[in-house]
Amino acid sequence: MRLDRISVTDYRNIAGASFAPGRQLTVLWGENGQGKTNLLESIWLLTGGKSFRGGKDEELIRRGAPFGVVQAAFHAQDRDQELRLTIGGKDSPRPGRRAVLNGSDRGRAASIAGTFTAVVFYPEHLRLVKGSPEGRRKFLDVALCQLYPGYLAVLRRYTRTLTQKNALLKQYEKTPDAGAMLDIFNQGLAKAGEELTLRRMEYLDQLKELAAANYRDLSRGRESLAMEYLPSFRPGELYRKLTALRSAELGARCSLAGPHREDVEFLLSGQSARTYASQGQQRSVVLALKLAEAAMAAQVTGEHPVMLLDDVLSELDEGRQSYLLTRMEEKQTFVTTCDPSAFSRTNGALFLVEEGQIKEA
Ligand SMILES: Nc1ncnc2c1ncn2[C@@H]1O[C@H](COP(=O)(O)OP(=O)(O)OP(=O)(O)O)[C@@H](O)[C@H]1O
Ligand SMILES: [Mg+2]
């Protein structure tokens, strides 16, 4: 995967900017609030996904402009391709994110998922280590959705049934045939849930080897990272477990087992990272994971995703920075920074971002 050129119009604080990135490392530097993360975000949108910052699509359009455009030339699946992404406001004739790929209108941007692939590190992802289990489940689900198109459909089915079941549990006494309905929901949840948990466990099994190797190198062999999936049932037994939990679920008024109750545990040299990891160690865990996620995608699809690393070097010691800088030069990588001095050791292409404009530095 290689981004050759990108032009951004009326996007966040960028009225118009265009640049041709380096084949390996591209450094976007500038003072706070100038548009570095905005540029990284505009590259991420080419994946068809929504912004990694959350929020509404409309917030992406430059204030006062009717719509925003991100246009890119990239090399993928052994050919040069072109993608034009438009972001329209609620009242525009083409609302939301829409994609035109190689001249053909593909409708909603989500439909081009898998065409241009990227892995993003955004400082908020540090919450993966110390935050709630939901964030860790989401990390796995997002990665699996990009790799296996069928995963999203099963996930949606599971989530829908779960919502219905929880609604039933809240109205149980007032609902006729509630017992039979609950059983039908449990059958549906068991079928989809077994598949989701199995996929997550298989994925994590491979990911953890790669992440452990990354972490070992990042810490120059001083610390080790281990990961373990914590399932809520034994394979093949989700239906039985849900049946056994019936009275507990009626008390709790929610479904008590299945992929929505599971978690991933990170261990740093045997200790819980959730409890003990320092700032730099949390950052190292997330980076080790993100690099592993990209390597897994490369194995499955045959193409290494573009790496987008927002403010990645802060809090890391000299050794960890050096290791990352070496890794950044292997694959096409975009980094943002307020202080380009660390990158002077690399032969990355340097661009200055100032008030939404970009200049070769
Ligand atoms: N829809 C929008 N229209 C106009 N400006 C916007 C819009 N959305 C965000 N901005 C502005 O974009 C500016 C730059 O944001 P960005 O997050 O890219 O900065 P940055 O260069 O990454 O800064 P930092 O070094 O602090 O991370 C912010 O000041 C913000 O107010
Ligand atoms: Mg930023």
Helices then strands, counting H and E runs in the chain, come out as 10, 15
Please list, in sequence order, all residues whose beta carbon lies within 8 angstroms of the beta carbon of residue 188, skipping any fewer than 6 positions away: 157, 161
* Cα–Cα distance for residue pair 21/332, rounded to 1 Å: 9
**pTM assigned to the model:** 0.92
Q: Identify the pLDDT of residue 146.
A: 80
Output the tens digit of pLDDT for each of the chain's 361 residues.
999 999 999 999 999 999 999 999 999 999 999 999 999 999 999 999 899 998 899 999 999 999 999 999 999 999 999 999 999 998 888 899 999 999 999 999 989 988 999 999 999 999 999 999 999 999 999 889 888 878 989 999 999 999 999 999 999 999 999 999 999 999 999 999 999 999 999 999 999 999 999 999 999 999 999 999 999 999 999 999 999 999 999 999 999 999 999 999 999 999 999 999 999 999 999 999 999 999 999 999 899 999 999 999 988 999 999 999 998 988 999 999 999 998 988 889 999 999 999 998 8
Q: What are the structural domains of the chain? A: 2-117+304-360 (3.40.50.300), 126-275 (1.20.1050.90)
Using a 6 Å CB cutoff, which residues line ligand 1?
Answer: 12-13, 30, 32-38, 59, 61-63, 336, 338, 353
Residues with CB under 5 A from ligand 2 (ion): 37
Choose the residue to mutate in 11, 38, 40, 57 for probing ligand 1, maximizing ligand atoms within 8 Å of C-beta: 38
Q: Whose CA is nearest to atom 2 of ligand 1?
A: 12
Atom of ligand 1 nearest to the CA of 13: 5
For 240-262, letters b (16+ CB in 10 Å) and e give: ebbeebeeebeeeeebbbbbbbb
Q: Compute the distance from residue 184 Cα to the ligand 1 centre, in Å.
A: 49
Q: Identify the pLDDT of residue 91.
A: 87
Atom of ligand 1 nearest to the CA of 60: 1
The secondary structure of 241-295, three-state, reads: HHHHCHHHHHHHCCCCCCHHHCEEEEEECCEEHHHHCCHHHHHHHHHHHHHHHHH
Q: Identify the pLDDT of residue 92.
A: 87
Are 38 and 28 spatial neighbours (Cβ–Cβ below 8 Å)?
Answer: no
Q: Whose CA is nearest to atom 28 of ligand 1?
A: 33
Are 325 and 342 spatial neighbours (Cβ–Cβ below 8 Å)?
Answer: yes
Q: Compute the distance from residue 231 Cα to the ligand 1 centre, in Å.
A: 40
* Cα–Cα distance for residue pair 359/361, rounded to 1 Å: 6
Q: Compute the distance from residue 17 Cα to the ligand 2 centre, in Å.
A: 17
- Please state the separation of Cα 176 from the chain's center in Å: 42
Atom of ligand 1 nearest to the CA of 31: 25
Q: Identify the pLDDT of residue 223.
A: 96
Please list, in sequence order, all residues whose beta carbon lies within 8 angstroms of the beta carbon of residue 40, skipping any fewer than 6 positions away: 28, 120, 308, 310, 334, 336
* Cα–Cα distance for residue pair 287/120, rounded to 1 Å: 10
Q: Identify the pLDDT of residue 113.
A: 87
Cα of first residue to Cα of last residue in the chain, in angstroms, is 25
Q: Identify the pLDDT of residue 296.
A: 95
Atom of ligand 1 nearest to the CA of 34: 21
